[in-house]
Amino acid sequence: MEEMIDLQELFQILKKRLALIAIFVVAVTTITGIFTRFFITPIYEASTQLVVSRSDIDNAVTSVEISGINQLMNTFNQIIVSPRILYQVIEELDLTETPGSLRGRIDARTVPNSQVMVLTVQHEYPYLASDIANKTAEIFARDVPEIMNFDNVSILAHAQEPSSPISPRLMMNIGLGFVIGIMSGIFLAFLLEFLDKTVKTEEDVEKLVSLPVLGMIPIMTPEDFRVKRIVNDLSRR
């Protein structure tokens, strides 16, 4: 029974502070949407694929050969983002970046159980995302025979200029702002209720002194006094 009463009190607090919670939700959601739309720089992503073929390997591949292929692919993943490759990318595309900053934009990975490399580039400008991906793949395929004495690398698919950013996600951020607004509004409602120590009703008095209320003195307004005076004048006639 006490748990039921406590639950009812919680709902009463939320009902009493409903307007405050609603204002808080609208405010946080609106601010989140505006900040996401106008103050966060969009990021675009473009990817290109390269294939590494091993003509010297038969169809029946041994575990040793598989290990060698994996090591080779991992080596290629490191070479493609090395300063030797990135310096040429910067020079040929006339970029105002260092190899270190450009390296932070590039991710090179191997598709599991394959000899396909995926090179992904993220950039604030969509055309540069695709240009950097394609130029890096081109220079890598051109230089890897000299670096590794290996000439079986070819570009499988060129990167296309992305039409939409991958971040920020406006609707996701708005939804997150909505949830945060609700949680913050509810927290603020309970906080204000906890800090409010004023006595407003007879129930508050009973809780405070642990004694029943015997009577209440009503609050008289000027209108009440006017009505009472009219009634007294009528009773005298």
pLDDT of residue 2: 45
pLDDT of residue 213: 64
Whether the pLDDT of residue 129 is over 60: the answer is yes
| Separation of alpha carbons 180 and 234, rounded Å | 62
Of 213, 184, 188, nearest to 199 by C-alpha is 213
pLDDT digits (tens, 9 = 90+) for 27-74: 999 999 999 999 999 999 999 999 987 655 444 445 545 566 788 889
CATH 3.30.70.1130-classified regions of the chain:
44-157
Is the sign of the CA dihedral 158, 163, 169, 175 positive or negative? negative
pLDDT digits (tens, 9 = 90+) for 219-230: 666 665 565 565
pLDDT of residue 99: 96
Where is pLDDT greater, at 127 or 221? 127
Which CATH class for the 44-157 domain? Answer: alpha beta
pLDDT of residue 229: 62
- Is the link from the previous residue into 168 a cis peptide, with omega within 30 of 0? yes
Mean pLDDT score of the chain, rounded to an integer? 84
